[in-house]
Amino acid sequence: MPKRKKIIVITGGAGFLGSHLCDRFVEEGLKVLCVDNLITGNLRNIKHLSKEKAFEFIKHDVSKELHIKGPVNYVLHFASPASPVDYLKHPIPTLKVGSLGAHNTLGLAKLKKARYLIASTSEVYGDPEVHPQKETYWGHVNPVGPRGCYDEAKRFAEAITMAYHRYHKIDTRILRIFNTYGPRMRIQDGRVVPNFIYQALHNKSLTVYGNGRQTRSFCYYSDLVDGIFRLLHSKIHSPVNVGNPDEFTILEFAKLVIKASGSKSKIVYKPLPTDDPRQRKPDITLAKKYLKWKPKVKLQQGLQETIHWFKENLID
């Protein structure tokens, strides 16, 4: 009798990161149930998986109760608008998917006795007063500012995950994702990587907010997916940063994009958005120690591959 495939539920599975996770777990031999309401996800991202017997798409808003027939081994909750443009456009769905969505997916994990992983974010640190950011830092967040709908949704998601772990003994993992980029990002999603690439490929001026000295670190999607895989199979229940600690100013990054794309674009400056973080750099000591993980793809290499993808797929 053939051995039954393990089954993994991935919410937000038609999104940028979620779709790459679907790829990875199909390759690992699991049956993947991809759940997405397509508010920011897109079926194009998973079209290549549609003929796979080990893949199933379920259109559903996980802010409403999620019913899955049969056994489930893993639940990964990645559903959420993830860029300022998206969560400012959809503030209430963002809050709901981080709270009700987390509650519903944790309930599914409890019912199925499945291992659970929540996708949190470096935004739980807000505009940090500690640099680089360690998991022990509690953050500097404005709960009533325009970004609060995303920041506080993720902070709540972490809190309810730990409550289910402590009270219901659910086997949980908390992933804090730092800036990630790569193929399948939406060109108009408002984040700095697709913004700059879109502007550069059209020889438009690259828009830098503030003086451009604010910093970010950029992790290529394949490195992040590997970190997620390792975290899921670890024994760590407390939050773990996964991201690239190589730090660049936004101005440095803009110049890299112009050079890598061969663009003739100039740089223009606009006022800094409210509560925009001045610094963002992960301390990945825990990931190195317990996951044996660190990023491998250098920014210049990842940028070339991402720019090439956008040239081939210059669609929203």
Separation CA 41–CA 12 (nearest Å): 7
Q: What DSSP state is assigned to residue 4?
A: P
Question: The tokens of 228 are what?
Answer: 């997620």
CB distance 284 to 158 below 8 Å: no
Question: The tokens of 47 are what?
Answer: 């079209």
Separation CA 176–CA 182 (nearest Å): 18
Separation CA 290–CA 105 (nearest Å): 26
Separation CA 131–CA 283 (nearest Å): 8
CB distance 157 to 164 below 8 Å: no
Please name the amino acid found at residue 241: N
Catalytic residue among 116, 150, 181, 198: 150
Burial class (CB in 10 A: 0-12, 13-18, 19+), 162: middle
Q: What is the dihedral of CA 313, 28, 157, 160, to 10 degrees?
A: 170
Note if 150 is an active site residue: yes
313: number of Cβ within 10 Å:
12
Strands (E), 89-177: 115-121, 172-177
Question: The tokens of 308 are what?
Answer: 């090439």
Q: Give catalytic residue positions.
A: 150
